[in-house]
Amino acid sequence: KAGVTQTPRYLIKTRGQQVTLSCSPISGHRSVSWYQQTPGQGLQFLFEYFSETQRNKGNFPGRFSGRQFSNSRSEMNVSTLELGDSALYLCASSPGQGIDGYTFGSGTRLTVV
């Protein structure tokens, strides 16, 4: 059974550019969450989707957006990148609405230069 797949694994972008990260959940999982992980801030919640609907959103600026498709795959987009956006972005999926615990992907390491 394939795990949560995140692409790309590594990304280097220039300040001001935009980036799209992709997440394919475990087959049958309908809930997808996104987190930003940095050494100083730990794991910060970005957003969660269930059946294509955003259930909740973290305290991030509007430059951070996401969506979920009918096949449960999800993307997140960051526009007008800033140096402080450099982080590991983690996607996690769950069968239902999150109470089963999450399976995390390996993450996308974004570096903004």
Partner 1 sequence: AQSVAQPEDQVNVAEGNPLTVKCTYSVSGNPYLFWYVQYPNRGLQFLLKYITGDNLVKGSYGFEAEFNKSQTSFHLKKPSALVSDSALYFCAVRDMGTNAGKSTFGDGTTLTVKP
Interacting residue ranges for partner 1, rule: CB under 8 A: 4, 33, 35, 42-43, 45, 48, 50, 54-56, 58, 90, 92, 97-107
Q: Which residues contact 89 (CB under 8 A, 6 or more apart)?
A: 6, 21, 34, 35, 36, 37, 46, 76, 107, 108, 109, 110
Is the Cβ of residue 14 or residue 42 nearer to partner 1 in the bound state?
A: 42
Q: How many angstroms separate the CA atoms of 23 and 70, rounded?
A: 13
Nearest distance from C-beta of residue 99 to partner 1, angstroms: 5
Decide if 23 contacts 29 (C-beta within 8 A): no
Nearest distance from C-beta of residue 76 to partner 1, angstroms: 15
Q: How many angstroms separate the CA atoms of 93 and 4, rounded?
A: 7
Is the Cβ of residue 79 or residue 98 nearer to partner 1 in the bound state?
A: 98
Is the Cβ of residue 18 or residue 52 nearer to partner 1 in the bound state?
A: 52
Nearest distance from C-beta of residue 63 to partner 1, angstroms: 20
